[in-house]
A and B are shown apart, each in its own frame.
Chain A
Amino acid sequence: MTERPARTSRLRIETDAEAMERDLSRLVLTLIELVRQLVERQCVRRMEQGDLSDEQIEVLGLTLMRLEDAMAEVCDRFGLSPADLNLDLGPLGTLLPQD
């Protein structure tokens, strides 16, 4: 029962221009998605603690919802799926939660 450190889909930045552009877009979108999810969690936490007014909740919710739609649209344009934005950090697992 030998454990193989098999990881095939590492994010590699290659040197030809087209691949570079694609990988860079992927990296940038990954970071945006990470920040978006962090903000979303923070909003949920603050909502649970009750330190947001109804009005604030509504505005934040709408903004985050639109941001999610916008992300989906941009990803679509670059031919990326949500799983493509999930960097594999090896022993640390993945950058974003998998679902």
Chain B
Amino acid sequence: MTVNDTGTYLYAVSHDTGSPCPEDLTGVAGTNVRTVAYAGLVAYVSTVPLERFGAEPLRQSMEDLDWLGETARAHHHVVEEVAASRPTAPVRLVTVYRGDDQIRDLLSQRHDDFTEALARVTGRQEWGVKAYVDLTTATPADQEVAGTGGPGAAYLRRRQMSLRGREEAWRQAAAQAEEIHDALSSVACASRRHRAQDPELSGRKELMILNGAYLVERDRREEFAHMVDKLRGRGVDVELTGPWAPYSFTELADGQAEIHDDG
């Protein structure tokens, strides 16, 4: 296999403390994880075959949910292992560079951004909070509406009630999401709202009204969990997941693609 047949898959970046890479750490597609250190930073990488991880094969692989799931788990596993012992900036799933030289370029060109991101997450953890409401119970769909006229008019009034009920329920749900997000943000150092997932993805039939990520100081985690408990009820279910590696808070300002594509 020549050099051109492989790429360097990047998992995460951390400070170079001189400590060795965790042994026997396996990354995507069963590859060994190693480190590339440069300019006080260290990148966790593995060598991957481009026949699977090149731009074109990846486009096809991304449609293969089994492959994607497996790769995501392997990626996540490496990030978790690294993040367990040091401040870590995880990198997005399937970020592949041409070789170690490009990784060193990245570490030197984006040095300040990485340092800033690492400072931001030091001593902090990411928690995920999803809030759901069951809109079906809030819609008074079949209730009889008093009024004059025959069955046709009654039908239209029923539709009117149901449409209005739904709009009202949506408005309430949006307001509740806002409230929950504000309350949680007051305990967190930083917060981000991701797009709410649809039921097919979340696996729940209720409407997801909030899909938030919160960066919380380690010693305020109980306070945060307590806040989540307090926000449950009133027809809202709040789901707490984590702690996660700080995926939502370490993205570099303008993405990492530019190095990826040149030279």
**Smallest CB–CB gap between A8 and chain B, Å?**
7
B20 at the interface (CB under 8 A from A): no
Q: List chain B residues, Cβ under 8 A from A11.
A: none
B180-224, CB under 8 A of A: which get 1 and which 0? 000000000000001000111100000000000100000000000
Q: List chain B residues, Cβ under 8 A from A63.
A: 152
B62-94, CB under 8 A of A: which get 1 and which 0? 100100110010011000000000000000010
B156 at the interface (CB under 8 A from A): yes
Residues of A20-55 whose CB lies within 8 A of B? 40-41, 43-44, 47-48, 54
Establish whether residues A4 and B65, one from each chain, have CB atoms under 8 Å apart when the complex forms: yes
Establish whether residues A65 and B72, one from each chain, have CB atoms under 8 Å apart when the complex forms: no
The 8 Å CB contact of A1, one of B136, B148, B213, is B213
Given known contacts A54-B148, A99-B135, A64 and B241 CB-to-CB distance under 8 angstroms: no
Q: List chain A residues, Cβ under 8 A from B139.
A: 99
Given known contacts A41-B163, A97-B166, A99-B135, A2 and B156 CB-to-CB distance under 8 angstroms: no
B159 at the interface (CB under 8 A from A): yes
Residues of B106-134 whose CB lies within 8 A of A? 126, 128
Q: List chain B residues, Cβ under 8 A from A6.
A: 65, 68, 200-201
A-B residue pairs in contact (CB < 8 Å), sample of 23: A1-B126, A2-B76, A2-B247, A4-B65, A4-B201, A5-B62, A6-B65, A6-B201, A8-B200, A47-B160, A57-B153, A58-B150, A60-B156, A61-B149, A61-B150, A61-B156, A62-B152, A64-B155, A64-B156, A65-B152, A93-B198, A94-B198, A97-B166
B binding-site residues for A, Cβ under 8 Å: 62, 65, 68-69, 72, 75-76, 93, 126, 128, 135-136, 139, 141, 148-156, 159-160, 163, 166, 194, 198-201, 213, 241-242, 244, 247-248
A binding-site residues for B, Cβ under 8 Å: 1-9, 40-41, 43-44, 47-48, 54, 57-65, 88, 93-94, 97-99
